[in-house]
Amino acid sequence: MRVPNGQAVMTVPDDAPHGLLAGPDGLLRHEDGRASAVVHQYDRDAALRAAVAARWGAPAGG
């Protein structure tokens, strides 16, 4: 089964996070307010990486 990107899982593209924002609750959200259950490769974008670190702490080793 194939699920479109941005539903259950969002894979952040290489070039930019296209419409992903850190919400006031610390969750990474789409521009329309939805949050995917899993955000894969969020660390490709400095702002998203900082939001995750602020909410969950920096990952081990980095």
Degrees to nearest 5, angle at CA 17 with 15 and 21: 160
Confidence of residue 1 (pLDDT cuts 50, 70, 90): low
Residue 28: exposed, middle, or buried by beta-carbon count in 10 A (0-12, 13-18, 19+)?
buried
Question: In 3D, which of 35, 54, 38, 34 has the Cα closest to residue 46?
Answer: 54
pLDDT of 16: 64
pLDDT of 28: 85
pLDDT in tens, 3-43: 676 667 888 877 765 678 888 887 888 888 888 888 888 88
Which two three-digit tokens encode residue 56? 């969950």
Residue 61 pLDDT more than 60? no
In sequence order, the 6+-apart residues with CB closer than 8 A to the CB of 47 are 17, 22
Residue 62 pLDDT more than 80? no
